[in-house]
């Protein structure tokens, strides 16, 4: 382990990540094929990433890097003096012969192909290529190698990886709001796009799509989530597919609704009610319609219920007081309508 490290830098300057980064660098252990990948903004960041990688792996494995192999790119010139100082042999490829560093080149191609498949299949924006590459590298380390029949992770760590928690990249996720941000009225979750796994904890990474509490288009990490792996919220809906409302709290079919025309009544900016057309609104209309006897019985039943429950108290009207006329609440109208329907059915 760490006898030879293959490395290569890939330029994706035509498309920047959300953080404005243009490149990614891979560092691959020759023995186990375990790969570490870093997304960087500038070419001169390669050396800094190598120093971080060297410190981490040598501390974790209690071994030293013996050799490193790269191409002749200018970003690797700064390695020479450092490698001489640390006793590391720096191997470079022949001019115009990238096949000399074939292992790193093939790994880069595999990661880019996986990245493109994930972005296209989920219709995610191109600036998420960094997140897609990280998860692609994560999965590559957990796929058995055809020669050893073991995963790079197992050879690197010494034990088999746990893959039970793997999810479909780019799927819909309903993330639970943190307790300080929960409200007694309203949804307790918000819609997100699944991006991957956190590197240093057990949480998952999500892109916020729809929320009135958490700022949209931000990345959050949490483990309190419900996945919908068959739903891709950013995917273009084809003609044969049913539209999906990712803002709804439950994925259920709409209830069958009446086809009759509805009238909208606004009570300032608080709420709206909808009354079915041709239904009586006041008492004089109710006793003049053809089924007036049903309305009369419904009204009497409702009045008897009010008296029985002592809902109101009858008092004498005082002339010096102002009379406030109330037309009845929407809830009372609904209850009266229910009584009318039950009487009519009987």
**What CATH number is associated with residue 26?**
3.30.420.10
Looking at the fold, whether 41 and 146 belong to one and the same domain comes out as yes
Tell me what pLDDT residue 316 has. 75
Domain assignment of residue 247, yes or no: no
Final residue of a structural domain among 228, 252, 276:
228
Domain assignment of residue 244, yes or no: no
Looking at the fold, whether 120 and 48 belong to one and the same domain comes out as yes
Final residue of a structural domain among 104, 133, 157:
157
**Phi-psi map region of 71: left, alpha, beta (phi>0 left; psi -120 to 50 alpha):** beta
Domain assignment of residue 243, yes or no: no
Looking at the fold, whether 27 and 139 belong to one and the same domain comes out as yes
In this structure, what are the phi and psi dihedrals at residue 40, rounded to the nearest 5 degrees? Answer: -130, 165
Domain assignment of residue 20, yes or no: yes
Domain assignment of residue 242, yes or no: no
Tell me what pLDDT residue 210 has. 86
Enclosing domain of residue 272: 262-345
Beta carbons within 8 Å of 203's beta carbon, 6+ residues apart: 197, 221, 222, 223
Alpha-carbon distance of 1 to 61, in angstroms, equals 8
Domain assignment of residue 245, yes or no: no
Tell me what pLDDT residue 170 has. 94
Domain assignment of residue 211, yes or no: yes
Final residue of a structural domain among 228, 250, 272:
228
Q: What is the 3-state secondary structure (H, E, C) of the chain?
A: CCCEEEEEEEECCCCCCCCCCCEEEEEEECCCCCEEEEEECCCCHHHHHHHHHHHHHHHHHCCCCCEEEECCCHHHCCHHHHHHHHCCEEEECCCCCHHHHHHHHHHHHHHHHHHHHHHHHHCCCHHHHHHHHHHHHHHHCCCCCCCCCCCHHHHHHCCCCCCCCCCCCCCEEEEECCHHHCCCCCCCEEEEEEEEECCCCCCEEEEEEECCCCCCCCEEEECCEEEECCCCCCCCCCCCCCCCCCCCCCCCCCCCCCCCCEEEEEECCCEEEEEECCCCCCHHHHCCCCCHHHHHHHHHHHHHHHHHCCCCCCCCCCCCCCCCCCCCCHHHHHHHHHHHHHHHHC
Domain assignment of residue 325, yes or no: yes
Looking at the fold, whether 196 and 145 belong to one and the same domain comes out as no
Looking at the fold, whether 8 and 90 belong to one and the same domain comes out as yes
Looking at the fold, whether 126 and 187 belong to one and the same domain comes out as no
Looking at the fold, whether 193 and 277 belong to one and the same domain comes out as no
Looking at the fold, whether 300 and 184 belong to one and the same domain comes out as no
Q: Residue 96 CB: number of other CB atoms within 10 A?
A: 7
Alpha-carbon distance of 264 to 276, in angstroms, equals 9
Alpha-carbon distance of 286 to 232, in angstroms, equals 51
Measured in Å, how far apart are the chain's first and last C-alpha atoms?
A: 84
Looking at the fold, whether 26 and 151 belong to one and the same domain comes out as yes
Alpha-carbon distance of 85 to 62, in angstroms, equals 20
**What does R_g of the chain's alpha carbons equal in angstroms?**
33
Tell me what pLDDT residue 339 has. 58
Q: What is the pLDDT along the chain (346 residues), one digit of tens a residue?
A: 899 999 999 998 788 998 889 999 999 999 999 999 999 999 989 999 999 999 999 999 999 999 999 998 888 988 999 999 999 999 998 888 878 888 999 999 999 999 999 999 999 999 999 999 999 999 999 999 888 889 999 999 999 999 998 999 999 999 998 888 888 888 888 999 999 998 888 899 999 998 888 888 899 999 999 999 999 998 854 434 444 444 333 333 333 444 455 444 444 444 444 444 456 667 777 777 777 777 788 888 888 887 888 777 777 767 666 666 555 444 445 455 555 555 555 5
Q: Residue 186 CB: number of other CB atoms within 10 A?
A: 10
- The closest of 293, 283, 276 to 340, measured between CA atoms, is 293
Structural contact between residues 68 and 91, judged by C-beta atoms closer than 8 angstroms: yes
Structural contact between residues 76 and 172, judged by C-beta atoms closer than 8 angstroms: no
Looking at the fold, whether 179 and 151 belong to one and the same domain comes out as no
Q: Is 244 exposed, middle or buried (0-12, 13-18, 19+ CB in 10 A)?
A: middle
Looking at the fold, whether 9 and 149 belong to one and the same domain comes out as yes
Looking at the fold, whether 153 and 70 belong to one and the same domain comes out as yes
Structural contact between residues 124 and 132, judged by C-beta atoms closer than 8 angstroms: yes
Distances from the Cα of 156 to the Cα of 11, 163, 319, angstroms = 28, 16, 92
Number of domains in the chain: 3
């Amino acid at each position: 382990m760490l006898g030879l490290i293959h490395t290569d830098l890939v330029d994706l300057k035509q498309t920047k990540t959300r953080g404005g980064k243009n490149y990614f660098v891979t560092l691959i252990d020759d023995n186990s094929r375990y790969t570490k990948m870093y997304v960087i903004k500038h070419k001169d960041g390669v050396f800094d990433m190598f120093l971080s990688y060297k410190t981490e792996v040598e501390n974790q494995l209690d071994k030293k890097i013996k050799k490193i192999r790269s191409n002749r790119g200018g970003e690797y010139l700064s390695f020479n003096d450092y490698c001489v100082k640390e006793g590391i042999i720096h191997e470079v490829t022949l001019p115009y012969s990238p096949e000399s560093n074939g292992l790193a080149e093939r790994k880069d191609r595999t990661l880019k192909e996986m990245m493109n498949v994930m972005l296209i299949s989920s219709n995610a924006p191109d600036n998420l290529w960094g997140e897609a590459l990280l998860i692609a590298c994560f999965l590559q380390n957990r796929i058995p190698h055809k020669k050893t029949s073991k995963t790079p992770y197992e050879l690197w760590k010494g034990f088999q990886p746990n893959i039970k928690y793997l999810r479909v990249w780019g799927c819909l996720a309903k993330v639970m709001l943190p307790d300080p941000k929960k409200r007694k009225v309203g949804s307790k979750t918000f819609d997100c796009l699944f991006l991957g796994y956190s590197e240093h904890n057990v949480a998952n990474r999500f892109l916020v799509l729809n929320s009135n509490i958490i700022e949209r288009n931000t990345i959050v990490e949490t483990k309190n989530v419900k996945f919908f792996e068959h739903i891709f919220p950013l995917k273009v809906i084809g003609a044969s597919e049913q539209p999906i409302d990712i803002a709804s709290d439950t994925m259920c079919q709409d209830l069958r609704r009446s086809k009759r025309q509805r009238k909208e009544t606004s009570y300032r900016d608080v709420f709206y009610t909808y009354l079915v057309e041709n239904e009586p609104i006041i008492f004089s209309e109710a006793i003049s319609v053809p089924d007036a006897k049903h309305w009369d019985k419904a009204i009497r039943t409702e009045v008897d219920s009010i008296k029985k429950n002592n809902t109101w108290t009858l008092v004498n009207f005082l002339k010096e007081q102002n009379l406030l006329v109330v037309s009845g609440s929407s809830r009372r109208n609904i209850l009266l309508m229910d009584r009318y329907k039950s009487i009519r059915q009987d």
